[in-house]
Amino acid sequence: MLVEALLVLRAVGAPLDTTAIHPSIIDTALSAAVVDTPSVRRRHAISYSDQYYTRLTIHRYGSYAMLPLFAAEYSLGQNLINDANPSSWIKPTHTAVALGIGALFGVNTITGAWNLWESRDDPSNRGLRITHTVLMLASDAGFAITGALTPKTHSFDFSEVQSSRNRHRNWAIGSMALSTAGTALMWFWKH
C-alpha cells in the first residue's frame, strides 16, 4: 500500500513527505516496486531476404507442375504394363517424364531446404513446414527407389517381369501419394 501511494505521488510530481519515514525505506520500497513490475518481451522480428521469395516462387510453380506430371507418368506406366504390344514412343516418353519429375524434385528439394533454413527462427507454421519437409524427403527417397526398381524386360520368366513391374509401380504410386499429401498440406492448411 505504501509503495503504491509513493509511486502515485512520485508520478504526479507531488512532494513526498518523508519526515515520518526513513529515506532508505522509501528507496527500498520504490526499487522493489520497479523490480517487481513484469516486463513484456516483444516477439523477435523475422525478416526474409529477396532471394527467399524468389526461391518460394520457383518452389510454388514446381508444385503446380507436379500433379500433371504425375498423371502423365501414371498413364504412361499403366500403358506399358497393360498393353501387350505398347507403341514405341511410350517407353521413351515414360522415361523422359520420369526424368522431368526427378529434375522437378531436385529443384524443389533445394529451394525448399534453403527456405526452410532461412525460416528456422520463424515460429509460425513451424510444425506444418517440418511435416511438409519430412513427407517430401520421404517421397524423394521413394522416387529414388522407384528408379532403382526399374523393371528388367530381358527376363524369360513372365511372373518375374510382372512382379518387377508391380514393385516399380507400387513404389511410384506410394511416392506420388506422399508428395501429394505434403503439397496439399501447404496448399490448403498454410495460414
Ordered DSSP codes for 50-79? HHHHHHHHHHHHHHHHHHHHHHHHHHHHHH
Give the count of beta carbons closer than 10 Å to the beta carbon of residue 116.
14
pLDDT tens digits, 114-128: 999 999 888 888 999
pLDDT score at 47 = 85
Contact at 8 Å (CB) between 168 and 149? yes
What is the average pLDDT score of the chain?
85
How far is it, in rounded angstroms, from Cα 123 to Cα 112? 17
pLDDT score at 155 = 61
Q: How confident is the model at residue 89 (pLDDT cuts 50, 70, 90)?
A: very high
Nearest-5° angle of CA 62, CA 67, CA 72?
115
Distances (CA, A) of 119 to 42, 70, 136: 19, 29, 17
How far is it, in rounded angstroms, from Cα 30 to Cα 17? 15
pLDDT score at 36 = 58
Q: What is the DSSP letter of 42?
A: P
Q: What is the average per-residue pLDDT within 157-185? A: 90
Q: Which cell goes with 141?
A: 527417397
Question: Position of cell 518387377?
Answer: 164
Q: What is the DSSP letter of 84?
A: S
How far is it, in rounded angstroms, from Cα 108 to Cα 179? 11
pLDDT tens digits, 37-74: 667 777 777 888 999 999 999 999 999 999 999 999 99
Contact at 8 Å (CB) between 147 and 98? yes
pLDDT score at 162 = 82
